[in-house]
Amino acid sequence: MYKRKKIITIIIVITALFVLTIWYFLQKSDYGPQLRIKNYDSKIKNLPNTRKQSIESMLYSTVKSNNADPQNVSDANIREGSNYQDYISDKKLYSGSFIVDLPSIKQSYVVNYKYSSIDNSIDNSGYPVLVSCLSGDKIIYSEFKCTDLLAPQYIDYDPIVKSLPYDTLKYRIRASVDSENKVTLIVNMDLSNEDYKIGREKSVNKYKAEISAWIVSLGLDPNKYTYDYIY
């Protein structure tokens, strides 16, 4: 009886080690260490696991660059109501953003991402994931000396990125940065029945003018950007 129990115990241990080994290799990422976002899978859809890994890896590195130990953070969560995703059908391109809060270290960041299911798409090159410091009324914790991982000393991307995403009742603006640091502004317009009564083209042009005026108010030139309008 004792010998039989011993054999069963050995089998259980070997099976457990086998399962743990398989689990380890399935979890292993080419992106390096990651800071897990607890509710990612319930909030973010339509992206491959590799994009999730790149987001969590970038978050890990950004937290570390801001003098916190990401290995001790286990409460990262996507802020309720902050996640947003668009789809451009001709490019098979998903792009979106969300705010991730880390209560234990009282820090928050905005994540912008893009992903195309087209092999070798240019939209998957450059910087398909950006993790940036929050600004303005999006900050819920005490302000700290926040530094973006892709700060100007590493990449000279346009300062408009710091002001995005930008939301109004009619449109939402986000950024996409390519391998040459060129910024494309992705604008999702929510046209109402009233807008269609006025005329779609007329309404769209009105909102485009508002967006240009907002960019000018930031001290920037609206003509230097490429735009992807979704409406």
The reported pLDDT for the residue numbered 22 is 44
Mean pLDDT (10-residue bins), the chain, 231 residues = 60 56 44 90 94 93 90 95 87 90 94 87 78 82 79 56 80 76 83 89 94 94 90 81
The reported pLDDT for the residue numbered 145 is 82
At 165, give phi and psi (nearest 5°).
Answer: -70, 150
The reported pLDDT for the residue numbered 47 is 94
The reported pLDDT for the residue numbered 75 is 96
The reported pLDDT for the residue numbered 19 is 46
Q: Which conformational region is residue 67 in: left (phi greater than 0), alpha (psi within -120 to 50 degrees), or beta?
A: left
Question: What tokens appear for 150 in the block?
Answer: 């892709």
Residues 189 and 13: their CA atoms lie apart, in Å, by: 57
Over the range 159-191, which residues count as b (16 or more CB within 10 Å of their CB) and which as e?
Answer: ebbbbbbbeeebbbbbbbbbeeeebbbbbbbee
Q: Beta partners for 97?
A: 84, 112
Residues 158 and 152: their CA atoms lie apart, in Å, by: 9
Element (H or E) spanning 193, and its range? helix 193-198
The reported pLDDT for the residue numbered 151 is 47
Say which residues have a Cβ less than 8 Å from residue 231's Cβ, sequence separation at least 6. Answer: 188, 189, 190, 191, 200, 204
- Residue bearing tokens 């590195």: 61
